[in-house]
Structure 1
């Protein structure tokens, strides 16, 4: 079990060993099928490739203005007094360079948004493959994973989290950095969460888990310990996730 911390005592009883009904679950009603996910990923990759090409072209055009600014400043060094001509030329070049930077920034943000969409669709693809009745491994226990491999995967996942780029004075959204989610927030299937579970030890433990589903009627999550073999689930109330 991959532990994230300990609790001093318990403020609630152990969750009851129930099975959540798919009819009241938020799990997969609107999820794409495995084939649809494959097609969507290819579409997004094509779109990302085009954005990268346009970004590179925009960067090359922006470099022309930057080089012109550098050459103009070199010429100005020989001037005893800054002439009106150079002042106006620099204003125009700086204005053009700022426009180029804004355009490149918008393209980079668009590329990051596409990458975030690709990751989201890939997660849906993984869940679809896991839940599909056509998947021969669906009812099989999960393959065990060495701790080092698991930690490497988690580190890579952390490095590729979606990047929020805010504007001046813009309010930071929930779940960005240390900003908590609202009380009505429901984690989606596949989300990684910190879950507080009962163990064989006297104290409860915090584990890193993956959301399987959420029962809206019972207000309980069903989660998997990502460092646990087999298909054993933990059924937990919202306050434990």
Structure 2
């Protein structure tokens, strides 16, 4: 009896989980060696006060070797996590397009899923001096970048009264027309909420978080005007950065534009790195969105 797609996907996930389990043990082992090397260096520096520079260089070199080994082990584990997420995402997309699929996810469940997605977004761990890649933190995508099926994006669509940026998911990309098909993240079962949009109407969300301790340049700085997902909604609005993340687990503290307040901005609200993107001004957007909407399917 042939294996079903679900069974094959489950087997692939189990294989990677087994490998991930081994990688985690390897990380702990290499971390112990790294910490010991650093402790030896600190002890020597305190006792000898750097009198033997050759000895210092040797200890520094050993610490760097162990640090690189730990970093490589972490990256190996992260790669397995990426693969597991991709397998599950592909199966979810296939199930969504199946005629037999009648699943309906409640709004509250979606909000929890979005929060979990932001918390588990991979953290960029690079070598000393390594340049932060595109779509890490505040670093935008390359000019010719095309998002993958299943990736989440901010999409400019025509609403009931005005255009709005919504959280959406890529369904497909047409290389001939350079247009995306995206689904409203909350209404993926409803084909009426599928939009065909040009690339300028779609902004990919970050694929990795940036650490303020190692790559502060990859984060939006205080006072920067951005677009961000308003808490407990799936719409992006303009906001000012009030406080960037201080550690790799922190959110941005934002002041959303809100004319109902005397200052014109809301009280500070926290938003995860994944849902804070560059502010994009729309010029002549009404006609463009109408043009895009004419080709919706």
Q: Deviations over 1:7-64 (max 9, x none)?
A: xxxxxxxxxxxxxxxxxxxxxxxxx943332222112111111111112122233344
Q: For the residues of structure 1 that align with 2:19 and 2:48, how far apart are their CA atoms?
A: 44
Select which of 157, 175, 183 maps to 1:224: 183
Q: Establish whether residue 160 from structure 1 lines up as the match of residue 126 from structure 2.
A: no
1:181 aligns with 2:144: no
Larger RCO, structure (CA 8 Å, separation 6 or more): 1
Q: For residues 182 and 67 of structure 1, do their structure 2 counterparts lie closer, same or farther at Cα, with a shift above 3 Å needed?
A: closer
Aligned to 1:58: 30
State the match for 2:282 in structure 1. Answer: none
Specify which structure has the higher proportion of strand. 2
Structure 1: state its 5+ residue gaps.
1-31
Whole-angstrom distance in 2 between the partners of 1:164 and 1:39? 28
- Cα deviation for residue 169 of structure 1 reads 5.0
Q: How many residues align?
A: 197
2:10 counterpart of 1:38: yes
Give the CA deviation at 1:223.
1.9
2: distance between equivalents of 1:191 and 1:34? 21
Query: TM-score, with normalisation over the residues of structure 2?
Result: 0.56
Distance 1:43 1:162 in 2: 20
Larger radius of gyration: 1
Instruction: Name structure 2 gaps, 5 residues minimum.
Output: 203-297
Cα displacement (A) at 1:209: 0.9
CA–CA distance in 1 between the matches of 2:201 and 2:129?
33
- Distance change (3 Å), C-alpha of 1:128 and 1:184: same
- Structure-2 residue corresponding to 1:8: none
Structure showing the higher helix proportion among its residues: 1
TM-score normalised to structure 1 length:
0.67
Cα displacement (A) at 1:98:
2.4
Judged with a 3 Å threshold, the aligned counterparts in structure 2 of structure 1 residues 67 and 150 are, in CA distance, closer, same or farther, namely same
- Aligned residue for 2:194, secondary structure, equals strand
Q: Deviations over 1:46-84 (max 9, x none)?
A: 11111111121222333444444455566559xxxx875
